[in-house]
Structure 1
Amino acid sequence: MQESNLLLATARVKLEESLLAKGLRRSSERFAILDEVYSRNDHFDAEELYQAMHQKAYPVSRATVYNTLDVLIDCGLVRRHHFGEEDNSKSRYEKSLGRQQHAHMVCTVCHRVKEFCDPRLHLIKTNVSTTLQFQVESHSLVFYGQCTDDTCETRPSHE
């Protein structure tokens, strides 16, 4: 719990600095959205974030959620993903501060996103940088398939 509080405090300072540097308003809504994002451990879309804010009785508009997500991405506090779902325009988000490098697996049936870490990913990144003389700033690896998780609600039954 203490680690997540420290992470949130660091994120709040980083957001504050970014807003000041860009001359943007430091509104309570932006910080409340940041708090909600950093309380989560999943990959969410903007509508889910909007609904979570309203369930907590925090009056924030959809536009504010979308705009704030863009601000959070711009200052490196959130990552945006497009996992190739049916609605290709749909973005998924995750907090990025304090997160170790990881890859994703996306179930094409239930659309659940799972993360995994493998030390070979770092080795590949290092080899690409060295061999091809290319400074890798970020990368994305996504595997698509069907999960075999019994809790997959939409998994086809194999009779």
Structure 2
Amino acid sequence: MQESNLLLATARAKLEEMLLARGLRRSSERFAILEEVYSRNDHFDAEDLYQAMHQKSYPVSRATVYNTLEVLVECGLVSRHQFGDNDKVRSRYEKSLGRQQHAHLVCTVCHRVTEFCDPRLHLIKTNVGQSMQFQVDSHSLVFYGHCTDGDCGNVNE
């Protein structure tokens, strides 16, 4: 719990710094959206976030959610992924501060996103960068398929 509070405090400070630097309003809505994002441990789309805010009786518009997500992506507090779900691409987000590099498995049936880490990915990234004389800052790896655990089929559109 203490680690998540420290992470949120760091995220708040980084957001405030970026808003001040750009001359943008430091609204309570933006900070409430940041808190909601950093309370989650999943991959979500803007509509998921909007619905979560309303379930908590926090009156925020869709436009504010979308605009705040853009700001959070720009300042490195949130990562945006373009996962293709059944031939349509939609943006999914996840908190990024304090997170290690990881890859994703995306189920094309139920749309579940599962993260995994494998030290060999770091080794591949390093070796490719060295052999190609290229500084790799980040990477993205996504495997598409379907769940085999028996829980698949709960389509979440």
Fold in common (TM above 0.5): yes
Counterpart position of 1:53: 53
Query: What is the TM-score when the length of structure 1 is the normalising length?
Result: 0.94
Would you say the 8 A contact 1:78–1:93 is kept in 2? yes
What percentage of residue pairs aligned between the two structures are identical? 81
Counterpart-to-counterpart distance in 2, 1:6 and 1:154: 35
1:1-159 alignment runs, 5 A limit? 1-86=1-86, 88-154=88-154
CA offsets 1:24-46 (integer angstroms, 9 cap, x no match): 11100000000000000000000
Greater shift, 79-88 or 135-144, is seen at 79-88
Any unmatched runs of 5+ in structure 1?
Answer: none
Would you say the 8 A contact 1:82–1:88 is kept in 2? no
Alpha-carbon distance, 1:85 to partner: 1.4
CA offsets 1:94-146 (integer angstroms, 9 cap, x no match): 00000011000001111100000000111111112111111112110000111
Greater shift, 51-60 or 132-141, is seen at 132-141
Counterpart-to-counterpart distance in 1, 2:23 and 2:87: 34
Q: State the 4+ residue runs in structure 1 displaced beyond 6 angstroms.
A: none
Alpha-carbon distance, 1:88 to partner: 3.0
CA offsets 1:3-37 (integer angstroms, 9 cap, x no match): 11111111001101111111111100000000000
Query: What is the TM-score when the length of structure 2 is the normalising length?
Result: 0.95
**Secondary structure at 1:82 match in 2:** strand
Letter of the aligned partner of 1:80 in structure 2? R
Would you say the 8 A contact 1:50–1:62 is kept in 2? yes
**Secondary structure at 1:19 match in 2:** helix
Would you say the 8 A contact 2:30–2:68 is kept in 1? yes
**Secondary structure at 2:150 match in 1:** coil
Would you say the 8 A contact 2:36–2:53 is kept in 1? yes
